Amino acid sequence: MTPSYLARRFFHALFVLWLSATLAFIALQLTPGDPAQALLAASGATADQVAARRERLGLDDPWLVQYLRYISDLARGNLGYSWLHGRPVGRMVLEQLLPTAELALAATAVGVALGLGLGVLAAVRQGTWVDVAATAVAAVGLSTPTYWSGLLAILFFSLQLCRFPAGGEGGLRHLVLPAAVLGFALSGSIARMVRARVAEVLGAPFVLAARARGLGARRVLLVHVLRAAVGPALAVTALQFGFLLGGAVITESVFARRGLGRLAVEAILWQDLPVVRGVILVGAVAYVLVNWAADVLQAWLDPRLWEERV
C-alpha cells in the first residue's frame, strides 16, 4: 500500500464525488417544478412572496452561477440548510446515517450468509432437486418486492406470532424483521453469482487435482471453493451497496424506520437541493469506502489481482 497508490485512490474518490454531485445537480435542474412554489403555495403566500423566496434561495440565478455556488459550497464542506426542514443539512444527514448503516450492515450479513449458503448448495448439487429448490428460494428473494414480503413478515411474525415488533427502532428485536426482509432480497443475487462461480471452480483443474490427491470433499469445498466464491459475493455486495442505501427506503417505510433513503426520497420529491446534495455526498463517500474495502479484500483473496496495484 504505497503512498502514491493511496493518493491516486484519493483523487479517484474526489473525481467520483464531483461527477455524482454534478449529475445530481443536472437531474434536479431538469426536473419540472419550482421548489419555492412547492414550499409556499399551500400556505396562502402571494405570487410576490413566492417570487421573493425563489430569489432568496438563489433559484433565479443562471444555471452556471447556481452550479458554481453549489460546487464551491460543496468544496468548502458547507452543506447549507434544508429548504424544507430549515435545519443544517450536515446534521440531518449524520442523524440518518447511523440507522441506515445499522440496517445495511445487518441486511448484508443476512444476505451474504444466506446467499453463500444457497449458492454453494445449489452448485454442489447442480442439476438435482436441491439445486432447483435453492434456485427457487433465491428467485423468490430476487422477485419479491420488499414492500410485499415486508408486509407479509409483519402480518405473520408480528401480528400472528406476536414475536417481533412491526416497526420502529430500539435494539435487536426491532432490527430482525427489516434486516431479514432486506437481506433476503439481497441474498438472491449473491446466491446466483456464487452458484455460477462455484460451479465454474468445481470443474477447475486445481480442484480436480485436489480431489485426485485424495482430499476430502468437505476440505476441498472449504479451502478452494469457498475462497473462490467469496470474491464474487463481495463484489455483488459492494455494488448492491447503493441499493442498500436507496432501496432501503422501502424497507424503512414498511418498518417505520428512519434513514437516509427516506430523507433522499423526500428531498427528491420536494426538490430540496441542499439535502439531495448532502445525501449524494454521504452516499458517494460511503460507496467509495465500501468498494475500496471490497477491492482490497478481493485482492487479498486472489493475489494475482494484487500485482497491478502495487
Closest distance of CB 243 from other proteins, Å: 6
**Nearest by Cα to 146 from 177, 105, 175:** 177
- Between 44 and 62, CB nearer to other proteins: 44
- Tell me how far apart the alpha carbons of residues 269 and 281 are, in angstroms, rounded to a whole number: 18
DSSP 81: B
Binding segment toward other proteins, per CB under 8 A, in 60-68, 70-78, 102-110, 231-239? 231-239
Does position 167 bind other proteins by CB under 8 A? yes
> What are the φ/ψ torsions at residue 88 (nearest 5 degrees)?
-65, 130
Q: In the set 169, 215, 226, 301, which binds other proteins (CB under 8 A)? A: 169
Q: Is 217 in the site for other proteins (CB under 8 A)?
A: yes
Cell of residue 234, nine digits: 463481495
Would you give the binding string for other proteins spanning residues 233-252, x where CB under 8 A is met?
Answer: --xx--xx-xx-xxx-xx-x
Rounded CA separation 5/8 (Å): 5
Query: Of the ranges 63-71, 72-80, 103-111, 187-195, which one interacts with other proteins (CB under 8 A)?
Result: 187-195
Residue 68 or residue 208: which is nearer to other proteins going by CB?
208
**In the complex, minimum distance from the CB of residue 92 to other proteins, in angstroms, rounded to a whole number:** 7
Give me the least distance between CB of 64 and other proteins, in Å please: 20
Which residues are within 8 A (CB) of 208 and not within 5 positions of it... i.e. 6 or more apart?
none
Cα dihedral sign, 100-173-185-127: positive
Does 229 participate in binding other proteins (rule CB under 8 A)?
A: no
Site for other proteins in 14-73 (CB under 8 A): 15-17, 19-20, 23-24, 27-28, 30-35, 37-47, 49-50, 53, 56
Q: Helix, strand or coil for residue 88? A: strand
C-alpha cell at 27: 437531474
Residue with cell 483473496: 301
Alpha carbon distance 200, 236 (integer Å): 17
- The only residue of 103, 197, 224, 273 in contact with other proteins, by rule CB under 8 A: 197
Distance CA 28, CA 25 (A): 5
Which residue is associated with the grid cell 427457487? 136
Tell whether residue 158 is a contact of other proteins (CB under 8 A).
Answer: yes
CB of 1 to other proteins, least distance (A): 18
- Give the C-alpha separation, 183 to 177, whole Å: 10
Is residue 78 at the binding interface for other proteins, with CB under 8 A as the rule? no
Using a 10 angstrom Cβ sphere, with 0-12 exposed, 13-18 middle and 19 or more buried, the burial of residue 104 is: buried
Please give the residues from 79 up to 138 whose contact with other proteins meets the rule CB under 8 A. 81-88, 91-92, 95-96, 99, 123-128, 131-132, 135-136, 138
* Interface positions, 242-301, toward other proteins (CB under 8 A): 242-243, 245-247, 249-250, 252-259, 261-266, 268-271, 280, 283-284, 287-288, 291
What is the C-alpha to C-alpha distance for residues 9 and 3, in angstroms, rounded to an integer?
Answer: 10
Min separation Cβ 111 and other proteins, Å: 13
Residue placing its CB nearer to other proteins in the complex, 64 or 307: 307
Least distance to other proteins, CB of residue 210, Å: 13
Among 114, 182, 221, 273, binds other proteins (CB under 8 A): 221
CA count, 13 A, side-chain hemisphere, 24: 25
